């Protein structure tokens, strides 16, 4: 079971989390993984930005705020006889974070390796409190840092697990504890490279931690606890009549996650597919509600099921300036450059005559992606065989998802018509050969209108 930032975010919700953990542990062996308290990862990041900029006052203020946030939660839930011990543990973690931030201030830079180690502390803080609270309630809980059980490649900020090694470590460390009646609480979001450097799995990565652990341990099920009733037909903050989908397939969930549905980290489904382990998305604040079941195959097939969007994307345009360049090779090398830094290509479209192509990347991955693409194509760029690579960030992505869309004649037409009725211009379109997703790029300011129009046109609010 994984508990997200809001679930770990307040004393009241921590009590609910502990109750859910205890209940499940009494039924069957359970491993828990947790996020940092909500907004803490953002605060850690901001502290390090401030340190890098030399803003000593800003850094100190943030250090105080982070400490106070945990102190307040601690005082509210940890009984008197454990308070000193818990405080000591939290203080040691905070002091390590402070040490790293001060180092950054001195260097005026944020080395990726140090950044990852510092970020992993957010989850260590929340897990420490949960373990203390569970123990105070008579559970035998054990804190396990994610970097002791998850082995990854050395790509800081967006690491990929090495599953065989991870499986070995998980079995070695977690199975004996489970058999012994313990409740391991693994810190989410982080792993470590084979060389032992702490890595992180990308923002929102604790979802991924849960499924990595589940696959490594051959779990029966994974439950991801968050702050909504499950996977919905659209982001409920954008579309008020979005409905909870009782069951969706891995493919549908993965498409939604890749295309911006924040409810799941993009790579959450990857470890589960080979093993067919079902995933439930559930609400910590409404635990009786069954939530959404995500499975390999589903008989529920109704056209377009959900629409998601992301404004955190940038459209990268590559345009040859000379007939001497082989466009297919150019595309291949661009994609390879993206793969080198684990940057995802969200949509890709090309024009056959001008041989130009564009692809969409996440804003968070843009800097690395551009560096990598420009270094791979340095020769062509320097000789003017291709035009300077442009990145347009005034765009947003919309993705309409549903296994049942396959072969439904006229659906794409209806979707485009609904969007154009709102006077929204479509910049790029792509539809994979699986016909599972139609991805549409529009101007950023039009995303909201387009999402609402598609949700209504496809009748997503009703089953
Ligand atoms: P956690 O901290 O538990 O990981 P997140 O904030 O990362 O939670 O994800 C949950 C949020 O995702 C919800 O509050 C909701 O606003 C948003 N969201 C976006 N798209 C969807 C969707 N299709 N279904 C459900 N929630 C969604
Ligand atoms: N705390 C991390 C983040 O905010 C990981 C997570 O919440 O899943 O990105
Ligand atoms: Mg999340």
pLDDT, residue 161, reads 98
For the chain, which residues score pLDDT lower than 50? none
Q: Which of 227, 258, 279 is the last residue of a domain?
A: 227
Pocket of ligand 2 contains residue 225 by CB under 6 Å: no
pLDDT at 368: 92
- Of 425, 424, 428, the residue nearest 356 (C-alpha): 428
Determine if ligand 1 sits within 6 Å of the CB of residue 262: yes
Does residue 303 belong to any structural domain of this protein?
no
The range of the structural domain enclosing residue 121 comes to: 2-227
Asked whether residue 61 is domain-assigned, the answer is yes
Is the residue at 263 inside a domain?
A: no
pLDDT at 301: 66
- Of 227, 254, 282, the residue at which a domain comes to its end is 227
C-alpha R_g of the chain: 23
Q: Whose Cα sits closest to atom 2 in ligand 2?
A: 204
Cα(228) to centroid of ligand 1, in Å?
7
CA distance 229 to 245: 9
316 & 194 share domain: no
The answer to whether residue 252 is domain-embedded is: no
Question: What CATH number is given to the structural domain containing 330?
Answer: 3.30.2130.10
Please indicate whether residue 36, judged by its CB atom, sits closer than 6 Å to ligand 2.
yes
pLDDT of amino acid 409: 85
Burial class (CB in 10 A: 0-12, 13-18, 19+), 408: middle
**pTM for this predicted structure:** 0.92
CATH code of the domain in which 23 resides: 3.40.1160.10
Q: Which residues fall inside 5 Å of ion ligand 3, going by CB?
A: 4, 204
pLDDT at 376: 96
Model pLDDT, residue 419: 97
């Amino acid at each position: 079971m994984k508990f997200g930032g809001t679930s770990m975010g307040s004393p009241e919700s921590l009590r609910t989390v502990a109750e859910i953990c205890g209940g499940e542990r009494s039924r069957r062996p359970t491993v828990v993984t947790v996020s940092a308290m909500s907004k803490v990862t953002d605060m850690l990041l901001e502290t390090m930005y401030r340190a890098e900029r030399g803003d000593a006052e800003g850094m100190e203020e943030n250090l105080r705020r982070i400490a106070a946030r945990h102190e307040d939660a601690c005082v509210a839930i940890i009984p008197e006889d454990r308070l000193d011990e818990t405080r000591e543990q939290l203080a040691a973690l905070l002091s390590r974070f402070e040490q790293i931030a001060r180092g950054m201030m001195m260097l005026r830079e944020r080395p990726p390796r140090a950044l990852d180690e510092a970020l992993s502390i957010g989850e260590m803080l929340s897990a420490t409190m949960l373990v203390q609270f569970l123990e105070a309630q008579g559970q035998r809980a054990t804190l396990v840092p994610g970097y002791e059980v998850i082995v990854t490649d050395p790509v800081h900020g967006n690491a990929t697990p090495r599953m065989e090694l991870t499986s070995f470590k998980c079995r070695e460390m977690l199975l004996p504890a489970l058999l012994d009646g313990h409740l391991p609480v693994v810190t989410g979001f982080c792993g470590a490279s084979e060389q032992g450097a702490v890595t992180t799995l990308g923002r929102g990565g604790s979802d991924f931690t849960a499924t990595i652990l589940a696959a490594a341990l051959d779990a029966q099920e994974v439950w991801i606890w968050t702050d909504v009733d499950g996977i919905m037909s659209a982001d409920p903050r954008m579309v008020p009549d979005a409905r909870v989908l009782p069951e969706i397939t891995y493919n549908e969930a993965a498409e939604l996650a890749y295309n911006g549905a924040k409810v799941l980290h993009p790579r959450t489904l990857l470890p589960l597919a080979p093993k067919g382990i079902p995933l439930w998305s559930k609400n910590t604040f409404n635990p009786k509600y069954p939530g959404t079941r995500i499975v390999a195959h589903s008989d529920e097939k109704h056209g377009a099921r959900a629409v998601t969007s992301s404004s955190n994307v940038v459209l990268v345009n590559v345009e040859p300036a000379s007939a001497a360049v082989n466009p297919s090779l150019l595309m291949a090398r661009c994609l390879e450059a993206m793969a080198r830094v684990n940057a995802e290509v969200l949509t890709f479209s090309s024009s056959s005559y001008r041989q130009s192509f564009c692809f969409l990347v996440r804003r968070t991955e843009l800097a690395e992606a551009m560096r990598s693409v420009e270094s791979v194509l340095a020769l062509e760029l320097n000789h003017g065989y291709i035009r300077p690579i442009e990145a347009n960030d005034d765009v947003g992505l919309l993705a309409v998802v549903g296994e049942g869309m396959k072969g439904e004649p006229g659906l794409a037409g209806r979707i485009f018509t609904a969007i154009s009725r709102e006077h929204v211009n479509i910049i790029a379109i792509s539809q994979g050969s699986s016909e599972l997703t139609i991805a549409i790029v529009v101007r950023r300011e039009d995303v909201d209108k387009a999402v609402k129009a598609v949700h209504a046109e496809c009748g997503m609010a009703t089953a």
